């Protein structure tokens, strides 16, 4: 037993917080000062997984504890010290299967690591496990997983959001210190909001998509999901950067995204898009008003403005993302990667494998996409959606001439009940109304806990102009400090 483990045991009752509840940057500082050992963190994580996983079901697979304990010993000189990270199961990993929560890939063992995984491993991280998601990342609740739904740690009757619901629930339940998710139309931000954690979708092109199983290639981005804003910045430092394996990743000088954290935001111009708040009522409205008050207290200037094409974002997004998905998912055919369901003829092999391999939501998207791209309909559907995308991009361009950051709720409601929206795909799609526009415009956006609605976490979304992650994180950090301070001060703990 290490000295620190012994000490912790002796102090037992005085330890109010287990190590798995602390953010990464605090753990690294404690390890640096020799007050704790990485293996203590690993033990606490596995204890939490054993205790909570039967209810939460955040993971599809978990690495063996002995392996991570052995690995952390030889990583002690690296910056991330062998601390394990949870990874959404659509990001390929050499030592754990990558299923995309699909029957099709149930037994798929990749032979290489995604670039983000390689970068994190080079920095001394290990992979704790692969987290549940909506099949191929299509969904907003993690109920479309072919295996099982994940539950929201704040209320087990509710969804954790999606599609990165497993990553969000794992971090919120302290079954992970931090995680990676992927975001095509909100899949990092919305589950982060539902589970009361922080989630960042970087600018399109900032993080390599090599090894991310493609859903909609012009929208997909990988990003961090963490307990606080500082950790988001820290993880981004490791995963951002050009990759010759992803031609859409950009060449830019590396930045330290933690650099501006803690600097004041006095004089910053914060924009509140009218279209994002008009329909809010009750506690959601009160939350937004409290955010505005916080920013004013921090010395920022609040400006109401308009993003006039917002109402067209959902149809444009579902047409574009489904069109790209229908092309990307053509590779799953029973020949490569996947289960083969019939050998009687080539046609039967394709048809049977795809009918049995894909779940209903994936099939719906493939049908929408194939229709939108078909000859005779292409211009009317896909072509029009692309034009709408350009208009949405222009809305943001003109907004960012007036303001530094835009704010909105991440989702119109807090986490909904399991089953509540399954029979109504449109209601499910509409829950993405606030996250989809920034995706279509390729902009960075972060969700930060912003109080409570109906007793459940309610997230604030902050959006910045392209490649302004440092500014975005600086403002998000200032907001996070302020709201934590207010919560601590409030006698009713109203937040």
**Interface residue list for ligand GLN (CB under 6 A):** 137-140, 163, 183-187, 215, 321, 432
How far apart CA 50 and CA 108 sit, in angstroms, is 25
Give the CA distances from residue 479 to residues 123, 223, 229, 483, in Å, rounded to whole numbers and listed in that order: 29, 20, 10, 6
**Mind telling me the catalytic residues?**
88, 163, 187
Tell me the closest approach of the beta carbon of residue 137 to ligand GLN, in angstroms: 4
At CA 325, angle to CA 320 and CA 331, rounded to 5? 150
Cβ neighbors of 402 (< 8 A, separation 6 or more) are 269, 271, 303, 305
CB of 333 to ligand GLN, least distance (A): 22
Q: Which is nearer to ligand GLN, 57 or 201 (CB)?
A: 201
Q: Which is nearer to ligand GLN, 139 or 166 (CB)?
A: 139
Write the burial class of residue 425 (CB in 10 Å: 0-12 exposed, 13-18 middle, 19+ buried). middle
Least CB distance to ligand GLN at residue 294 (A): 28
Backbone angles phi, psi at 360, to 5 degrees: -60, -40
Nearest residue by C-beta to ligand GLN? 187
Nearer to ligand GLN, 46 or 312 (CB): 312
Phi-psi group of 140: left, alpha or beta (phi > 0 → left; psi -120 to 50 → alpha; rest → beta): alpha
- Helix, coil or strand: residue 428: helix
d(CA 458, CA 438): 19
In the complex with ligand GLN, the residue whose CB is nearer, 295 or 317, is 317
Instruction: State the minimum distance, in angstroms, from the CB of residue 245 to ligand GLN.
Output: 21
- Complex with ligand GLN: residue 126 or 163, whichever CB lies closer: 163
Rounded Cα–Cα distance for residues 124 and 68 (Å): 11
C-beta atoms surrounding 303 within 10 Å: 13
- CA–CA distance, 151 with 429 (Å, rounded to integer): 20
Query: Strand ranges (DSSP E) for 233-378?
Result: 269-273, 301-305
Indicate the residue among 155 and 432 with the shorter CB distance to ligand GLN: 432
Minimum gap (Å) between residue 183 Cβ and ligand GLN: 5
Give the separation between CA 180 and CA 200, rounded to whole angstroms.
Answer: 10
* Ordered DSSP codes for 113-182: --HHHHHHHHTT-EEEEEE--SGGG--SSSTT-SS----BTTBTTB---SSSHHHHHHHHTTS-S-EEEE
Q: Which is nearer to ligand GLN, 65 or 90 (CB)?
A: 90
Q: What is the DSSP string of 87-117?
A: EETTB--SSS---TT-GGGTT---SS--HHH
Burial category of 295 from C-beta neighbours within 10 Å (exposed 0-12, middle 13-18, buried 19 and up):
buried
Give min distance, CB of 389 to ligand GLN, in A. Answer: 15
How is residue 153 written in tokens?
A: 């740690």
The distance of closest approach from Cβ of residue 73 to ligand GLN in the complex, given in angstroms and rounded to an integer, is 36
Q: Which of 152, 106, 153 is nearest to 130 (CA)?
A: 106
Please identify, using beta-carbon distances, which residue of 214 and 229 lies nearer to ligand GLN.
Answer: 214
């Amino acid at each position: 037993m290490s000295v620190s483990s012994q000490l912790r045991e002796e102090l037992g009752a005085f330890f109010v917080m287990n190590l798995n509840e602390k953010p990464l940057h605090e753990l690294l500082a404690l390890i640096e000062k020799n007050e704790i050992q990485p293996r203590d963190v690993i033990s606490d994580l596995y204890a939490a997984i054993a205790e909570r996983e039967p209810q939460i079901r955040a993971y599809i697979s978990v690495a063996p504890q002995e392996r991570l304990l052995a690995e952390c010993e030889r990583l002690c000189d690296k910056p991330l010290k062998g601390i394990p990270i949870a990874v959404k199961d659509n990001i390929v990993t050499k030592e754990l299967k990558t299923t995309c929560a699909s029957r099709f890939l149930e037994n798929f063992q990749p032979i290489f690591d995604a670039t983000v995984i390689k970068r994190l491993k080079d920095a001394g991280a290990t992979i704790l496990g692969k987290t549940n998601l909506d099949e191929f990342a299509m969904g907003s609740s993690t109920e479309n997983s072919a295996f099982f739904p994940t539950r929201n740690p704040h209320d087990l009757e509710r969804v954790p959001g999606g599609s990165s619901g497993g990553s969000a629930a794992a971090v919120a339940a302290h079954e992970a210190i931090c995680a990676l998710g992927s975001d095509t139309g909100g899949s990092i931000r919305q589950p982060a909001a539902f589970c009361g954690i922080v989630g960042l979708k970087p600018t399109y092109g900032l993080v390599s998509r090599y090894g991310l199983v493609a859903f909609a290639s012009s929208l997909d981005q990988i990003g961090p999901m963490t307990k606080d804003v500082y950790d988001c910045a820290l993880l981004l430092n490791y995963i951002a950067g050009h990759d010759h394996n992803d031609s859409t990743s950009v060449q830019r000088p590396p930045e330290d995204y933690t650099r501006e954290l803690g600097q004041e935001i006095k004089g910053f111009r914060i924009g509140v898009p009218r279209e994002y708040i008009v329909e809010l009522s009750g506690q959601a409205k009160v939350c937004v008003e409290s955010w505005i008050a916080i920013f004013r207290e921090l010395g920022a200037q609040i400006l109401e403005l308009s993003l006039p094409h917002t109402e067209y974002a959902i149809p444009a997004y579902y047409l574009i993302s489904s069109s790209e998905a229908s092309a990307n998912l053509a590779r799953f055919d029973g020949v490569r990667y996947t289960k083969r369901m019939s050998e009687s003829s080539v046609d039967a092999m394709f048809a049977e494998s795809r009918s049995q391999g894909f779940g209903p939501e994936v099939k719906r998207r493939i049908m929408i996409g194939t229709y939108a791209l078909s000859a005779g309909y292409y211009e009317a559907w896909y072509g029009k959606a692309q034009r709408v995308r350009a208009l949405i991009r222009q809305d943001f361009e003109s907004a960012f001439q007036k303001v530094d950051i835009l704010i909105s709720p991440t989702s119109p409601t807090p986490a909904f009940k399991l089953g509540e929206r399954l029979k109504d795909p449109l209601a499910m799609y509409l829950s993405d109304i606030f996250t989809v526009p920034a995706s279509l415009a390729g902009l960075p956006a972060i969700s930060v806990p912003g109080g409570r609605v109906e007793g459940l976490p309610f997230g604030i979304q902050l959006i910045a102009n392209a490649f302004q992650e440092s500014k975005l994180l600086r403002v998000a950090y200032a907001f996070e400090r302020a709201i934590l301070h207010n919560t601590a001060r409030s006698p009713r703990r109203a937040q």
